[in-house]
Amino acid sequence: MEFPESELLQGLPKQFFANLVAKVNAKVATGADVINLGQGNPDKPTPDYIVAATQKWVADPATHKYSLFRGLPAFKKAAADFYQEKYGADFDPETEVAILGGSKIGLVELPWALMNPGETFLLPDPGYPDYLSGAALGKVKFETYPLLEENNFLPDLAKIPAEVAKRAKFIYVNYPNNPTGAVATLAFYEELVAWAKKYQVGVVSDFAYGAIGFDGQAPVSFMQTPGAKEVGIEFYTYSKTFNMAGWRVAFAVGNADIIEALNLIQDHLFVSLFPALQYAAINALIDPRRDAAIQEIVDRYQARRDAFIEAAQKIGWRPIIPGGTFYAYMPTPAGYTSEAFADLLLEKAAVAVAPANGFGKNGEGYVRIGLLIEPARLVEAVERIGNLHLFD
């Protein structure tokens, strides 16, 4: 018997990173000492205090039962309190907070929950590839808006055609930005709220790298903006803030109608998160060691960013200095596409980078560098690239 995949699954976009991983693995199989800068996976462990809290809660039999469908009220309150403390934004824990098994789930399921087949939403180009999965699964259409270096990789909302804006139901934004490392400003978010109200477009802010800002500048939350809660929501994940990528813990805050729709679809897909994990997530937010643990993570990425940028300047590789995330977004040398440059670096220098055209057509001409290894190894990678004399 054969069981072919459904048309829905056949319509999913190809997984960009799977191809990159295959190329890297093939090079490693030759015995090469590959320095992998193409990944986006935090390389350090979760802070000890969170691990200890998790161990305690896992050992408690009371956490071994089903969770409440929409998560623990105490977790939702901790999330709301965190946003009040950090961003001065108020949320009702019961109606304006949703618990998620990672923010990817919320971003992908949102079109199912809030859009009808054939409706349109707006996505950044370049942008996180899995946004496209939500479009395919929800059977909705999408238009892209460009993130260009000359505009600091922020959308130029005035250049989105009025007919497109009127047709759109939602717009996704992601700052600090993957892959560019750009950060948003309060002025931009104020403009975005006004634009959203004018065209009646919901705003979906992907704040995955919300804790990681450089040079002493904390990233701005969309929810700091007056009127933000009226027009949209924001996703916040533990993956980057606490090095908890594999734990799959996140939450969303914002507009009550959007939160209710996310909760409703999750009623049918999940029974929330393992209760022990939810209690540990509460501890992560309320423990007095929280800010020091986050700052240690941020300082580590800052040191890596600075080491990489300094090394790139030495070989004549023009840096685009990221304001946040753990990525550097770098231009390709003259005469090279993103893919050709990435393939050359892997073949000739045993350095893996992510070709940014995998994030959208406007990523062409750039590669994404993951700052997820120690500074000395980053410098070594740049020196290997310098030995190819591509920037002389």
Give 162-214 as a DSSP string. Answer: HHHHHHEEEEEE-SS-TTT-----HHHHHHHHHHHHHHT-EEEEE-TTTT-BS
Residue 103: count of CB within 10 angstroms of its CB: 23
- CA pair distance 312, 367, nearest whole angstrom: 13
C-alpha 205, offset from chain centre? 10
Place of tokens 């804006």: 165
Cis geometry, peptide bond prior to residue 179 (ω within 30 degrees of 0): yes
Amino acid occupying residue 19:
N
The span from the CA of 178 to the CA of 211, in Å, is: 14
Rounded Cα distance between 328 and 180, Å, is 7
Q: What pLDDT is stored for residue 39 in this prediction?
A: 86
Residue type, 77: K
Closest-CA residue to 305 (of 283, 288, 329): 329
**How many other CB atoms are there within 10 angstroms of residue 117's CB atom?**
9
Q: Is 148 exposed, middle or buried (0-12, 13-18, 19+ CB in 10 A)?
A: middle
Q: For residue 295, what pLDDT is reported? A: 98
DSSP code string of 228-258: HHHHEEEEEEHHHHTT-GGG--EEEEE-HHH
Please tell me the chain's helix, strand, coil percentages from 3-state DSSP, rounded to the nearest 5: 50, 15, 40
Which helix (DSSP H) or strand (DSSP E) does residue 291 occupy?
helix 290-314
Q: What does the pLDDT look like over 179-218, one tens digit per residue?
A: 999 999 999 999 999 999 999 999 999 999 999 999 999 9
Structure tokens at 177: 């930005």
Q: Choose among 242, 378, 386, 210: nearest CA to 306.
A: 378
User: Measuring CA to CA, how many Å separate 9 from each of 13, 137, 138, 204?
Assistant: 9, 8, 11, 25
What does DSSP say about strands 250-254 and 327-331: parallel, antiparallel, or unpaired? unpaired
Residues 6+ apart with CB under 8 A from 274: 63, 67
Amino acid, res. 148 = L
Strand ranges of the sheet holding 232-237, from the earlier edge strand across to the other edge: 97-100, 250-254, 232-237, 202-206, 168-173, 120-125, 141-146
How confident is the model at residue 76, as a pLDDT? 98
Q: What is the per-residue pLDDT for 20?
A: 85
Burial group, residue 271, by CB count within 10 angstroms (0-12, 13-18, 19+)? middle
- Going residue by residue through the chain, which has 392 residues, state the pLDDT in tens, using 9 for 90 and above: 999 999 999 998 887 778 888 999 999 999 999 999 998 899 999 999 999 999 999 999 999 999 999 999 999 999 999 999 999 999 999 999 999 999 999 999 999 999 999 999 999 999 999 999 999 999 999 999 999 999 999 999 999 999 999 999 999 999 999 999 999 999 999 999 999 999 999 999 999 999 999 999 999 999 999 999 999 999 999 999 999 999 999 999 999 999 999 999 999 999 999 999 999 999 999 999 999 999 999 999 999 999 999 999 999 999 999 999 999 999 999 999 999 999 999 999 999 999 999 999 999 999 999 999 999 999 999 999 999 999 98
With a CB cutoff of 8 Å and minimum separation 6, the contacts of 385 are 315, 317, 345, 349, 351
Query: What is the C-alpha separation between 58 and 78, in angstroms, rounded?
Result: 19
